Copies of this chain bind each other. A is one copy, B any other.
């Protein structure tokens, strides 16, 4: 049975023809706000401002049952080979990122999960010793994480979210882009003698990462520094980077950890622990693992990731909304949307079901967002009055991180921040009438607010796991494989053809025009690229 064949699908399609009108007076009430709250751990989800009523909610719960979402979550966390396409060559792997943090309560007892968790914990112990060693030496003042995609976005987002918890022992940098200016700019900020480079690539062959690694190897050598003493590897066993001769220390990951789900493995672990210390890092893992357990609960009201997934599917497949804005009212979370953009879009931006047949419905939405209140002074105009409706997932915290604040006109900044958050949630839902058409707000912009006490390690771990598991649930319900990424292959193949052309050109080899004529055309265009000499007049002053 597939998504559009479920009974609940048909019922929800019919309910979506006339969703609740939040702009009507008396619909969004205090009672509705208080009733429509789901709670898990230290987090609440306010969803009274979504376009759902009790009937929609109960049919969404049926959808979860019909699709076996909870059973699949159990399977995933227990080591089932969910990363595959039936009947076709595919990755055919387990999906065990939850095991990377399953060190605390209610540990999964399935053998595969237990093995993975035991292996992961050995890396954690290695990391603990490594951090202590660096602390004792006191020589490393800069850490540069070299990685891209999952080896960059997640670790960076988490690091920035928890920067206020830094030990202060060293400065953290991230290098991802093959753009040489990215590396050059970081080189200006570090002192190579006191720099540790953490090279992260599961395959050990990522073009950007290996290139940037060579960039640093060369710079170390130019300064007469032994690169080995300053480089750490995080890679898969047996990868081209699995060569302890070249690195001061090697940490391992496994094929059942997808890049975009790898933050809680050593991919994020090394740099995050070096930044915020082992104790904070372990609390981050605790929060993530606790939310993994929540994701096994059968009632959506006590299972925040499932609840988020179902509301998202309502907006995507029944209200037909193509995007989702994720807007944290916390500046520390500035790169969280970029990480979730990867986690969600790379997981669920798919066009086939798990049996290889083409989907007949919409899969993952386009994820985007910036922190509030900043966004209010930017793209909120379109969210309030544009022609494309944008559902919003807000994130907010009761308390600030630094506890440094200012009282202006009787309220502190944190209160102003929260006032703006909830004002937007209400305003987007209710809208506002006016006789001036330019001051009309149509309302019915669905949104929800995920709320916690503070953006601290435990909570950031829980939030990360909330989103990871929400994405997985959506994939389960749609019946797609959320764990591969075949869509990135074509670009790699073509880029290598281009690189070949550049290499041959540099060597003065003759190019065969029949090989890659489109590439040739662009290379000719680039070569012929001349800057028209701009004619400058004299400025007014002269």
CB-defined contacts of A413 to chain B, threshold 8 Å? 178-180, 183, 211-212, 215
Flag if B366 contacts A491 (CB, 8 Å): no
A90 at the interface (CB under 8 A from B): yes
A345 at the interface (CB under 8 A from B): yes
Q: How far is the CA of A489 from the CA of B434 in the complex (A)?
A: 12
Flag if A214 contacts B535 (CB, 8 Å): no
Flag if B518 contacts A180 (CB, 8 Å): no
CB-defined contacts of A371 to chain B, threshold 8 Å? 177, 179
Closest to A367 in B: B379
Q: How far is the CA of A366 from the CA of B323 in the complex (A)?
A: 9
Which residue of B121, B163, B365, B535 contacts A185 across the interface (Cβ within 8 Å)? B163
Closest to A31 in B: B521
Flag if A373 contacts B439 (CB, 8 Å): no
Tell me whether A416 and B207 are in contact in the complex, defined as CB-CB below 8 angstroms, given that A148-B373, A529-B398 are known contacts. yes
CB-defined contacts of A512 to chain B, threshold 8 Å? none
CB-defined contacts of A46 to chain B, threshold 8 Å? 522, 525
A356 at the interface (CB under 8 A from B): yes
Flag if B423 contacts A487 (CB, 8 Å): no
Contact sample, A vs B, 9 pairs, CB 8 Å cutoff: A28-B518, A125-B541, A183-B406, A322-B323, A346-B382, A376-B488, A380-B487, A423-B493, A427-B494
A111 at the interface (CB under 8 A from B): no
CB-defined contacts of A488 to chain B, threshold 8 Å? 376-377, 380-381, 384
CB-defined contacts of A180 to chain B, threshold 8 Å? 400, 402, 404-406, 412-414, 417
A137 at the interface (CB under 8 A from B): no
Closest to A128 in B: B541
A224 at the interface (CB under 8 A from B): no
Closest to A517 in B: B30
Closest to A402 in B: B184
Flag if B503 contacts A89 (CB, 8 Å): no
- Residues of A in contact (CB 8 Å), total 185
Flag if B406 contacts A214 (CB, 8 Å): yes
Flag if B424 contacts A491 (CB, 8 Å): yes
Cβ contacts A481-505/B at 8 Å (1 or 0 each)? 1001111111101111111011100
A396 to chain B, nearest CB (A): 9
Tell me whether A484 and B438 are in contact in the complex, defined as CB-CB below 8 angstroms, given that A382-B349, A491-B380 are known contacts. yes
CB-defined contacts of A153 to chain B, threshold 8 Å? 374, 378
Q: Which of A179, A332, A531 has the most CB of B within 10 A?
A: A179
A422 at the interface (CB under 8 A from B): yes
CB-defined contacts of A490 to chain B, threshold 8 Å? 384, 427, 431-432, 441
Tell me whether A534 and B287 are in contact in the complex, defined as CB-CB below 8 angstroms, given that A90-B438, A149-B377, A488-B381 are known contacts. yes
CB-defined contacts of A384 to chain B, threshold 8 Å? 349, 487-488, 490-491
Q: Assuming A211-B408, A377-B488, what are 6 further A-B pairs, CB within 8 angstroms? A: A179-B330, A215-B413, A349-B381, A349-B387, A356-B437, A432-B490
Flag if A506 contacts B332 (CB, 8 Å): no
A55 at the interface (CB under 8 A from B): no
Q: How far is the CA of A498 from the CA of B535 in the complex (A)?
A: 55
Flag if B362 contacts A537 (CB, 8 Å): no
Q: How far is the CA of A437 from the CA of B351 in the complex (A)?
A: 9
Closest to A425 in B: B522
CB-defined contacts of A405 to chain B, threshold 8 Å? 180
Flag if A381 contacts B437 (CB, 8 Å): no
Closest to A501 in B: B419
A15 at the interface (CB under 8 A from B): no
